[in-house]
Amino acid sequence: MSAAGRSVLLIVGGGIAAYKSLELVRLLRKAGIGVTAVLTKAGAEFVTPMSLSVLTGETVRQDLFSQADEAEIDHISLSRAADLVVVAPATADLMAKAAHGHANDLASTVLLATDKRVLMAPAMNVRMWEHAAVRRNQAQLEADGVAFVGPDEGEMACGEYGPGRMAEPAAIFEAIQGLLDGASSTPAILPPPAARPMAGKRVLVTAGPTHEPIDPVRYIANRSSGRQGYAVAEALAALGAEVTLVSGPVDLPAPAGVNLQKVETASQMRQACESALPVDAAVMVAAVADWRPRETANTKLKKAAGFGATLELVENPDILRAVAAKGPKRPKLVVGFAAETDALLANARAKLASKGCDWIVANDVSQPGVMGGAENTVTLVTPRGAETWPQASKTEVARKLAERIAAAL
């Protein structure tokens, strides 16, 4: 389902990152998504009600006890009128209120009264983000069904460095699109982890490309963005699985509730995958480079020295085949991915047989916008046959695949 024509209730918390909420509103409106804003008292110290009102085209709500606002639409109706509630920035205070059911202002009352999905984009100092109380609150919110995007790692406005920066508006926008795509079939509150179908299951997911260095400034890579793999990891975690995500170099925030391990080369990815075993299932989405230079130069190679005439390559380890190999650590279910440009089914069936895996998810990456884009069309190939799924967002593809995996296990 297209996100156009849907609506978002945006809660803007207090923090320097509040300025990013203005760009987020612009992206949403450009995509045809309606936005109503709730501005907290602290948020109003960083962005003005006028700015939000002009960009949203709607009255900005601020006060729980405003007679004018309540006469136009009461706070209970406000909490349920939109298709999705987004908190950006989600401060430590807002997270704490939501986690413990406090309702002493408009924002916290809306969060307690809503029957819709909630997406939070945290933003706070690195020490606050790493504090045990904030970690407990995030865990409770995730158990209650709240989705998270970010935070990112980087330099803070206060000068410190680490995780805590609010995700960029484009990343939050993509997360919103994914949730709106599945809003009609996703419950407002997910069951607690113990009641989820993947509870107690351990899953390995790989994602993104690998970078095989030629010298300190050049490498062999591919166009994989990692979006499909990250979406699969997040979907499996939402079903209660304990997910280890081994990721090549990508520009994506860590999925909520996932153990993210970052690597660069195919050799590093294989080592990380071997360390993650045993698991109940392995979903190998990464686009691993087939080849790497036999030798890596310690200094930048110069054209004047003849660089480029010959680059000798050697084959990289076959991670999918290694994970699928028979043995005591082989997962019960091994799912491989096949990015093809022609003969999709023939190549997918050949890969299924040669790698020893149980399923292959094949897609035609010659189609514009598939590799690196937000949507995908895949064919699930098993020994029983092939099933092509309708084009959908990568989030929806991941959700459907996660449900199939849960059923298989």
Per-residue pLDDT tens digits for 264-303? 999 999 999 999 999 999 999 999 999 999 999 898 888 7
Mean pLDDT on 16-36: 90
Which range has the top average pLDDT, 205-214, 247-256, 298-307?
205-214
H or E, element range at 77: helix 75-81
Measured between alpha carbons, how far is 111 from 352 in angstroms, rounded to an integer? 46
Cβ neighbourhood burial of 384 (10 Å; 0-12, 13-18, 19+): exposed
Both tokens assigned to 217:
């400034």
Q: Map tokens 């000068």 to a residue.
A: 159
What was the pLDDT predicted at 167? Answer: 85
Where residue 367 falls among pLDDT bands split at 50, 70, 90?
confident
Number of Cβ within 10 Å of residue 223's Cβ equals 11
SS3 letters across 199-251: CCCEEEEEECECCEECCCCCEECCCCCCHHHHHHHHHHHHCCCEEEEEECCCC
H or E segment to which residue 78 belongs: helix 75-81
pLDDT exceeding 70 applies to what percent of the chain? 88
Q: Whose structure tokens read 């809503």?
A: 114
What is the rounded distance in angstroms from the CA atom of residue 305 to the CA atom of residue 301?
A: 7
> Above pLDDT 90, what percent of the chain?
45
Which position among 158, 170, 217, 350 bears the catalytic label?
A: 158
Q: What residues does 334 pair with on adjacent strands?
A: 282
Residue 322 has pLDDT above 70, yes or no: yes
Three-state DSSP at 380 gives strand
SS3 label, residue 260: strand
Helical packing angle, 49-56 and 20-30, nearest 10°: 10
Alpha helix stretches (DSSP H) within 249-343:
266-276, 319-324
Domains and CATH numbers, the chain: 7-181 (3.40.50.1950), 193-408 (3.40.50.10300)
Helix (H, G, I), strand (E, B) or coil at 89: strand
Q: 35 Cβ partners below 8 Å, 6+ apart?
A: 7, 8, 9, 10, 25, 28, 29, 55, 56, 58
**Known catalytic residue: 158?**
yes
Please name every residue paired with 220 in a beta bridge, in sequence order, or none if there are none. 212
CA atoms of 225 and 174, how far apart (whole Å): 13
* Contact (CB, 8 A) for 306 and 340: no
Name the amino acid, one letter, at 52: L
Question: Does the structure show a pLDDT above 60 at 385?
Answer: yes
Q: Which residues contact 191 (CB under 8 A, 6 or more apart)?
A: none
For residues 352 and 335, the answer to whether their CB atoms sit within 8 Å is: no
Kindly give, in sequence order, each residue whose CB lies less than 8 Å from that of residue 8, ignoring residues fewer than 6 positions away. Answer: 28, 33, 34, 35, 36, 82, 83, 84, 85, 86, 176, 180
**Tens digit of each residue's pLDDT (9 = 90 or more) over 69-103:** 554 556 677 877 888 999 989 999 999 999 998 88
